[in-house]
Structure 1
Amino acid sequence: MSTPLPNILVIMADQMSAQASSLYGNPLVPTPSLERLATGGVVYDCAYTPCPLCVPARIATWTACHPSRTGCQTNQDSFPENRPNPFSLWRDMGYRTALIGKDHCFTAAQKQAFDEAFEVEHYGVPESAEAWQRDPDRARAVHAANTMRRNMPATDAPYPHATTDHPEEHYATPAIAACTAEFIATSDRPFAAWVSFPDPHPPFEVARRWFDEARIDLSDLPKERPVDWGQMPERLRILHGMLAWPADAQEDLAICVSIYFAMIRQVDHYLGRILDALEDTGQADNTIVVFCADHGDFGGNFGMMSKGGGFPDCLARVPLVVRAPGILPAGTRAQQPVSLVDILPFLLSAQGTDPSILGAVDGLAEALIQPFRTSVVSEYGAGGPLYRFEDYANDGAPAGIEAIKKTLLRREAEGERAMVRFGRFKFIDDPMGDLDELYDLETDPAETTNLAGKPEHRETRDIGRTHLKAWRRRNR
């Protein structure tokens, strides 16, 4: 008798830093559902995004390729037509497929690979989404609950933020969890689902009850040594000028960080509802569950919120927990370097499909099973001209979210930066210019001291550069 195909459930949070979870040592953000998932699976302590930007990270996850291999390097790109759509593959294998939540990856034609789709974006339900036709009452209620996100209050802070009082079930996160539970309960054959929470990505808005539970004090903001910005790359200095909260607005920053933490706590709570649905339907033992994030958020580090193209761990290191009964050991932590590009090859291999069906890829199924690589790479940029201080000055040196909007397209495409994590070190360079970066994450986890220019660290810097040169040769 043949073994039944395992269900596949990939749950992705948007812009959730690994540092913002009790599972990774942050007591300010209790995430009991993640810890519950971890008791049956593996927690990866050194997991990195292939790109700290939404669309490239998502496409990289579902192609198992770094952005520079596919050319999908900005938020304006879509899943490449010359790459297999994994959900089409799973559908052809007899799986029931679903997209529940945020997409930012597939074209309208490619979404025909999903048997079910309930799309929810950061501002509500897209009018083109199938849910408008299939369940209009729910879609309208969820869209109404996102009214504040579409009309965030004016503020002097770099990023607006708010709390609201809509019915709990109408917020995007609980609505996505409810749809997922219904999908699980009604599936009459193996399923492959991508559950994609838009939170905790901006707009920074959350139900008031979650904010009240997550509220932190000024003293809880990240404690960091002073940063010598003079030895940091120009990109980071410009970004700091755009996004740093003023010294006299630190209490407001604490409120924004509290909202970010509250959004994560809400995601974690409703992850628990999804895990309940698997257990209630008797499918937990035959379902591979992956929880991850596409990338992180400054989350108060460096006095900033959101993201912008750098590679500090708050942006580049992501939570990754995989529960694969009978395949991965339960209740363990793995220290080897891994990437989101490893997820798809692992899933295919675990269900008995040769990952070579994907063609040439960067991901390694083995990387999630055992120590298989010594380094992991992340990248940002599409080879566009560098965005310099003179460009920033010519733009009027805007700040906050308006600066992000005004400069986004140029900053997304600029340069060819790449980061490599190897052992305790992280090295970053851009062959188009700007300063190199080197950090010792053991002695300087906050990444405030750039060692790249120090003669005593020349050998370590050269090791990092060699890693990146080899990686770039493979990806050309």
Structure 2
Amino acid sequence: MKPNVLLIMVDQMRGDCLSVLGHPVVDTPNIDQLAQNGVLFKNAYTATPTCVPARAAVLTGMSQTSTGRVGYQDKVPWNYKHTLPGEFAKAGYHTQAVGKMHVYPARNLVGFHNVVLHDGYLHYNRFKHNNMETESYNYSGDDYLPWLKNQVGNQADLIDLGLDCNASTVARPWHLPEAVHPTNWVVTESIDFLRRRDPTKPFFLKMSFVRPHPPFDPPQVFFDMYKDLELPDAPVGDWAEREDPKKSGYNPITSKGIVPKNRLKRAQAAYYALITHIDYQIGRFLMAMEEHGVLNNTVILFCSDHGELLGDHNLFRKSLAYEGSAKVPFILADPGNLLKLKKNGMVEEVVELRDIMPTLLDAANVEIPECVDGRSVLSLCKERAVEWREYIHGEHASGQSSHHYVTNGKEKYIWYSQTGEEQLFNLEDDPQELTNLAAVIESAQRLTFWRERLIKELSGREEGFTDGNRLIIGRETKACLDHLLG
């Protein structure tokens, strides 16, 4: 029988928040064990660092230009011909998703046989004043919320803690029993799938956590692990804004500004606590897999859709191209040594979320559709040298902050399309992006090198970002390209 495949996906987890990578405080023993049972990719990125476009890359294996999602826009239908779960289903797999999907319509199966859904707080589903005519504000069939109400009382809701779903600067512990936290629920439902799955077929399970995306609400025991520790200060580059005359940092859902020190430290502690909480629940699921006799016949991939700036350069949330936002954890584990990977390995080559679909299909010896832009990383996980891509191109349409970036994991070039600002970072010498080399005379050749690569990537784009010779400032941006909108 073909191997089972488990995709563990978290939301808004930074690529550096792993103890196996030497983070000064974050403890992730079970994720570390996944890395020891396989390969950790040190330079993994999301090309479009927000939920919807990043998840499109995961589920289709396509670049942002192919999916048509180059920014964040809700309520755009998902009509892709080939998807990761769809290809597994056609190959005879029993496919199941548990947790966050963030597709549209929200109950779109996108190729899965079944979805047990919890997307967290989605504004277009929640806002009753936008949905009164159809009474569709039942959260599009979210499965967690009615379950929660059944467990603790009909008045329970997602907003009970008073924390906004995008608040990256405020936090408080979870107020209900840990067993009913959405993180535990994802694992509980995933364990139930192991019980109910078709034993005559291999399975593909996507176990998708909403956390550590805000609200920052870890169970008390995990918050206590971090609240009194000396937490690392967020790096602030020489190019960052250091004043906040509008006091933007006092807004709990700010994307930039100077946040009161104690408030920020609590948010850091809660964010790290959510990661460790997820890690322990992953450990719970790995034990359940052993009990069901499937652990050693399962290939596991762990990743996030994007990161969280968490105060880096006085910035918060995601969407930007800096390491805290665009770099993600990416681990391919093979507990049963089915793929003959180099165990406890680390790969330096740059990979992207579009590589997940071809990797997992390759691991199961399932044909990879021609529309897939990503590449299987299995060749990088063997004890031999292989040719690989030289860099990736990422972007995000977001008003005045709209930007494009290119990186090979060693250097990074960022171009802000509305202002023309350029940034160049030497990530080997300056992994925290403290020094912008764009204006340094000695870096002029490298700046030109990376600018020309971006021009090549943007040539022919409908927005008109380049004429093939230069970058053109101020072109109108859009979150979705014309071919997606029809």
Give the TM-score taking structure 1 as reference length: 0.81
Contact 2:75 2:104 in 1 (8 A): no
Q: Could you tell me which amino acid in structure 2 is paired with residue 279 of structure 1? A: E
Q: Distance in 1 between matches of 2:461 and 2:390?
A: 18
Question: 1:336·1:371 contact (CA, 8 Å) conserved in 2?
Answer: no
Q: Secondary structure at the match of 2:302?
A: strand
Instruction: State the shift of 1:375 in Å.
Output: 1.5
Name whichever of 257-266 and 63-72 sits farther off. Answer: 63-72
1:326 aligns with 2:338: yes
Aligned equivalent of 1:374: 390
2:8 to 11, 28, 50: 11
Tell me the residue number matched to 1:227: 238
Q: In the alignment, which residue of structure 1 is the partner of 2:209?
A: 197
Q: Which residue among 34, 43, 66 is the counterpart of 2:31? A: 34
Aligned residues: 430
Report matched runs for 1:306-321 at 5 Å. 306-307=317-318, 309-321=319-331
Report the 3-state secondary structure (helix = DSSP H, G, I; strand = E; otherwise coil) of the residue aligned with 1:365.
coil
* 2:362 maps to 1:349: yes
1:288 aligns with 2:304: no
Amino acid in structure 2 at the alignment position of 1:65 = M
Tell me if 1:128 matches 2:126: no
User: Percent sequence identity over matched residues?
Assistant: 27
Inter-CA distance 137–45: structure 2 relative to 1 (3 Å threshold): closer
Q: 1:470 aligns with which of 448, 456, 480?
A: 456
Once residues 289 and 175 of structure 1 are traced to their aligned partners in structure 2, the CA distance between those partners, rounded to angstroms, is 20
Does the aligned pair in 2 maintain the 1:8–1:191 contact within 8 Å? yes
Aligned residue number for residue 104 of structure 1: 102
Aligned AA (2:220): R
Residue aligning to 1:235: none
The offset of 1:151, in angstroms, is 5.0
- Larger deviation, residues 367-376 vs 5-14: 367-376
Deviation at 1:223, TM superposition (A): 5.2
Is the contact between residue 49 and residue 317 of structure 1 (CA under 8 Å) also seen in structure 2? yes
SS at match of 1:229: coil
User: What CA distance in whole angstroms lies between the structure 2 residues aligned with 1:23 and 1:300?
Assistant: 23
Other-structure match for 2:472: none
Instruction: Tell me whether 1:271 sits opposite 2:282 in the alignment.
Output: yes
1:335 match: 348
Alignment map for 1:360-399 (pairs within 5 Å)? 360-366=371-377, 368-369=380-381, 370=386, 372-381=388-397, 386-387=399-400
SS at match of 1:197: strand
Matched, 1:47 2:44: yes
- Asked if 1:211 is matched to 2:230, the reply is no
Going from structure 1 to structure 2, the CA distance change for 1:143 and 1:311 (only over 3 Å counts) comes to: farther
Q: Deviations over 1:5-29 (max 9, x none)?
A: 1111111110000122212221311
Contact 2:148 2:156 in 1 (8 A): no
Counterparts of 2:460 and 2:206 in 1: how far apart (Å)? 29
CA 1:299 to 1:131, structure 2 compared with 1: closer, same or farther past 3 Å? same
| 1:181 lines up with 2:174 in the alignment | no
Please name the residue that 2:480 is paired with: none
Change (3 A) 1:326 1:167: same
Q: Write the letter of the residue equivalent to 2:349.
A: Q
When normalised by structure 2's length, the TM-score is 0.80
Q: Which residue of 2 aligns with 1:419?
A: 405
Distance 1:130 1:464, change over 3 A: same
Structural mapping, 1:84-163, within 5 Å: 84-108=82-106, 110-111=108-109, 113-123=111-121, 127-129=139-141, 131=143, 137=147, 140-141=150-151, 147=157, 149-150=159-160, 152=162, 159-163=169-173
User: Shift in Å at residue 240 of structure 1?
Assistant: 12
Shift of 1:331: 1.5
Query: 1:304: how far off?
Result: 4.1
- Would you say the 8 A contact 1:342–1:365 is kept in 2? yes
For the residues of structure 2 that align with 1:139 and 1:323, how far apart are their CA atoms? 36
For 1:244 and 1:363, locate their aligned partners in 2 and report how far apart those are by CA, in whole Å. Answer: 33
Tell me how large the CA RMSD over aligned residues is: 3.2
Residue 288 of structure 1, CA deviation: 1.2
Specify every segment of 5 or more residues in structure 2 that has no aligned partner in the other structure, as ranges. Answer: 127-137, 243-247, 463-486
Task: Report the CA distance shift for 1:332/1:143 in structure 2 as closer, same or farther (over 3 A).
Answer: farther
Residue number in structure 2 paired with 1:168: 178
Q: Secondary structure at the match of 1:111?
A: coil
CA 146–341 in structure 1, closer or farther in 2 if over 3 Å, else same = farther
C-alpha separation between the residues in 2 aligned to 1:64 and 1:31? 28
Seen in structure 2, the aligned counterparts of structure 1 residues 221 and 454 have a Cα distance that, compared at 3 Å, is: same
- Amino acid of the residue matched to residue 69 of structure 2? C
CA change 1:210–1:335 in 2 (3 A) is: same
Distance in 1 between the 2:417 and 2:267 partners? 36
Distance verdict in 2 for CA 1:195–1:142, change over 3 Å: farther
Q: In structure 1, what is the Cα distance between the partners aligned to 2:31 and 2:453?
A: 33
Deviation at 1:456, TM superposition (A): 1.4
CA distance in 1, matches of 2:192, 2:436: 50
Shift of 1:206: 1.9
The residue aligned with 1:448 is 434
Q: CA deviation at 1:461?
A: 1.1
Instruction: Note closer, same or farther for the CA distance 1:467–1:112 as it changes in structure 2 (3 Å cut).
Output: closer
Deviates more, 1:464-473 or 1:9-18: 464-473
State whether residues 96 and 112 of structure 2, in contact with CA within 8 Å, keep that contact through their aligned partners in structure 1. yes
Aligned-residue offset at 1:463: 1.8
